[in-house]
Amino acid sequence: MNNELGRISALLKGDRPTISFEFFPPKDDLGFENLRASFQELKKYSPDFISVTYGAMGSNQERSLAVVAEFSSQVPTVAHLTCIGSTKESISNLMTQYSNMDVAGILALRGDIPSDFLGAPLGDFKTALDLVDLVRESNFEIGIAAFPEKHPESPNLQHDLAVLKLKQDSGATFAMTQLFFDIDTYFNLRSSAEASGITIPIVPGLMPIANVKQVMRMAEMSGAKVPVHLVERLSEANDELSSREIGMEFSVKLAKDLIAQGAPGIHIFTLNHHKAPIELLKATGLA
Ligand code: FAD
């Protein structure tokens, strides 16, 4: 690792909760303009770091790099990197490009095969563990994904924990979670991880429920269970404004409880917007 060794894990192990934001690469120039505007608004809240997603199997990867190139000089940036369908050579080339930017860390992921790529060559990597091994050679701090409700392909949480431990032993120094709504799943993951010798900080990923339909779609795609009481309350809402209020109230409580019970910080999935993340930070007392 370079001399910024462990910058992200040091922040996550610090004595105050971290604030961080996830962005995705926009589809077009207008989307980029909107993202820039959101980024500038969110920057005012002094995020500890941000992260930028990366589409598996080629989708919008150039723009992901462009976002990382632009933002990493302003805020410590974790670049997500997927390996499914990639060759070792293409990943090494990317590492060289990231070395020329001020990238704070790489989130080493397998990625999922998009439906229109099913049957395409899978490349040189079977799992994210292979990527962790390659990224380690490039001296970047390495983050990994964690799944409070277990990874959909895993037989059980114990299997996921064994994989997390292998990745930690291979050099990963922090983990970020998948979207979840049930706080018990996060703290259960944390305590089971500790019992399995996993000591790296696991920062919870939180998506403010502002656009309820969009968040519910993301929940379905990721397999995150939505608590029955939230579904019931949302079903009573008469219009979008009142469902937004119910959703945000739920998100604020989740964020407050996470921090109160010892989460290292909150990684906010912004969906490239700034209003709901700022509302969440203010209501949680983090801003
Ligand atoms: P892996 O670690 O490879 O795990 C996949 C499956 O294989 C799991 O069931 C695991 O238990 C199993 N496994 C792994 N290694 C071993 C082993 N050695 N032995 C046995 N079993 C093993 N996707 C994107 O395309 N772009 C993104 O930017 C992106 N960002 C994400 C950010 C976060 C915080 C999270 C949680 C997910 C993100 N994803 C992203 C989605 C992610 O790529 C998928 O969830 C993918 O299915 C799993 O990725 P992984 O890195 O955990 O894979």
Instruction: Provide the CATH number for the domain around residue 112.
Output: 3.20.20.220
- Asked whether residue 139 is assigned to any structural domain, the reply reads yes
For residue 118, what pLDDT is reported?
76
Distance from the alpha carbon of residue 211 to the mean position of ligand 1, in angstroms: 26
Burial of 136 (0-12, 13-18, 19+ CB in 10 A): middle
- Asked whether residue 7 is assigned to any structural domain, the reply reads no
- Asked whether residue 6 is assigned to any structural domain, the reply reads no
CB of 205 sitting under 6 A from ligand 1 = yes
Spatial distance between the Cα atoms of 222 and 149, rounded to a whole number of angstroms: 10
Angle at 10 between CA 8 and CA 13, to 5 degrees: 110
Q: What are the per-10-residue average pLDDT scores of the chain (287 residues)?
A: 71 97 96 98 98 85 95 97 94 93 95 82 92 93 98 97 98 98 98 98 98 94 95 94 97 98 98 98 96
Active site residues: 22
Spatial distance between the Cα atoms of 62 and 269, rounded to a whole number of angstroms: 21
- Residue 21 · residue 270 · CB < 8 Å: yes
Residue 44 structure tokens: 């005012």
- Residue 132 · residue 172 · CB < 8 Å: yes
Cα–Cα nearest to 74, from 96, 52, 97, 106:
52
Spatial distance between the Cα atoms of 105 and 16, rounded to a whole number of angstroms: 20
172-177, strands of its sheet edge to edge: 202-203, 172-177, 142-146, 103-109, 77-82, 49-52, 18-23, 265-269, 205-206
For residue 43, what pLDDT is reported?
98
Distance from the alpha carbon of residue 151 to the mean position of ligand 1, in angstroms: 7
Which of 142, 160, 163 for mutating ligand 1's site (highest number of atoms within 8 Å of CB)?
163
Alpha helices by DSSP H, 119-182: 128-136, 157-169
- Residue 54 · residue 78 · CB < 8 Å: no
- Asked whether residue 9 is assigned to any structural domain, the reply reads no
- Asked whether residue 202 is assigned to any structural domain, the reply reads yes
Cα–Cα nearest to 98, from 47, 58, 61:
61
Spatial distance between the Cα atoms of 201 and 221, rounded to a whole number of angstroms: 26
CB of 53 sitting under 6 A from ligand 1 = yes
For residue 5, what pLDDT is reported?
59
Spatial distance between the Cα atoms of 168 and 56, rounded to a whole number of angstroms: 23
Spatial distance between the Cα atoms of 181 and 225, rounded to a whole number of angstroms: 7
Domains in the chain, number: 1
For residue 216, what pLDDT is reported?
94
CB of 49 sitting under 6 A from ligand 1 = no
Q: Helix or strand or coil: residue 145?
A: strand
CB of 242 sitting under 6 A from ligand 1 = no
For residue 60, what pLDDT is reported?
84
Pairing of strands 265-269, 205-206: parallel
Q: Helix or strand or coil: residue 207?
A: coil
For residue 3, what pLDDT is reported?
37
- Asked whether residue 80 is assigned to any structural domain, the reply reads yes
Question: 120 — phi, psi (to 5°)?
Answer: -70, 160
- Fill in the DSSP letter of residue 198: -
Distance from the alpha carbon of residue 71 to the mean position of ligand 1, in angstroms: 25
Strand partners, 174: 143
- Asked whether residue 11 is assigned to any structural domain, the reply reads no
- Asked whether residue 226 is assigned to any structural domain, the reply reads yes
Domain that holds residue 80: 17-284
